[in-house]
């Protein structure tokens, strides 16, 4: 087979996502925003949903919140290409309204498959929607910057970068949380482990790790 014909599993998945007609957002979007970054990324950042800029370009976090995310990554010596960046839902809700539960339900299988392929060591949730995907009863104000492990994957909740653009006092908190990431990763054996409830097992894809 010619190398040029070979598509990685992740590229193939992104192509599938780009053709998704799974919910009503398919008719209002300009572009689908599957996500982008390194296929072997240790860090997987999950935002909420594409906004106006992302919808125009088909790329995640390219507006003002994205610029701030790039600055945050630079604080720990990383470039966007070295991590993976995606969202809970892959299409922009009209007028940037909050995603509906049915849209999240229809879309989250894509995120699960991205995580299955990339198998990051650490999942960083940005904001309350991606936190709620894994920890529905927790509040971002309480758990931001606190790591815990499910199986051997570290979950690390952070405020959404856009929140700091609206509320200046959050800026230093987000920066401080970001700076904790390298050490948390380096000392992952010291991160407190939690046992998810049975109904959450498939969410965390724990069975994948038990197979190993």
Binding to ligand URA in span 75-94, by CB under 6 A: 87
Structure tokens at 73: 């990554």
Out of 34, 36, 43, 54, name the contact with ligand URA by CB under 6 A: 54
Q: Does 120 bind ligand URA (CB under 6 A)?
A: no
Q: Does 48 bind ligand URA (CB under 6 A)?
A: yes
3-class state of residue 153 by DSSP = strand
Q: Does 50 bind ligand URA (CB under 6 A)?
A: yes
Using CB under 6 A, which of the segments 3-11, 57-65, 148-156, 186-194 binds ligand URA? 57-65
DSSP letter at 145 equals: T
Only one residue has tokens 């758990």, namely 143
**6 to 25: interface string for ligand URA, x by CB under 6 A:** --------------------
State which residue, 87 or 184, has the beta carbon closest to ligand URA.
87
In what side-by-side order are the strands of the sheet with 36-37? 36-37, 84-87, 43-47, 122-126, 153-158, 148-150
Q: Does 49 bind ligand URA (CB under 6 A)?
A: yes
The three-point CA angle 26-32-35 to 5° equals: 140
């Amino acid at each position: 087979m010619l190398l040029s014909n070979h598509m990685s599993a992740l590229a193939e998945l992104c192509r599938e996502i780009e053709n998704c007609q799974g919910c009503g957002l398919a008719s209002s979007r300009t572009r689908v925003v599957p996500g982008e970054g390194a296929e072997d990324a240790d860090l997987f950042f999950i935002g909420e949903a594409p906004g106006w800029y992302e919808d125009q370009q088909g790329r995640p976090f390219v507006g003002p919140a994205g610029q701030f995310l790039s600055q945050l990554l630079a604080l720990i010596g990383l470039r966007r290409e070295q991590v993976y960046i995606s969202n809970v839902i892959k299409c922009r809700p009209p007028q940037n309204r909050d995603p509906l539960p049915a849209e999240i339900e229809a879309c989250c299988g894509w995120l699960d498959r991205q995580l299955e392929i990339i198998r990051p060591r650490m999942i960083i949730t940005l904001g309350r929607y991606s936190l709620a995907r894994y920890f529905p009863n927790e509040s971002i104000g309480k758990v931001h910057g606190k790591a815990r492990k499910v199986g051997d994957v570290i979950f690390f909740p952070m405020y959404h970068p856009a929140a700091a653009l609206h509320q200046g006092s959050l800026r230093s908190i987000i920066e401080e949380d970001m700076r904790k990431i390298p050490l948390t990763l380096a000392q992952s054996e010291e991160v407190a482990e939690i046992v998810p409830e049975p109904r959450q097992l498939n969410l965390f894809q724990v069975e994948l790790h038990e197979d190993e």
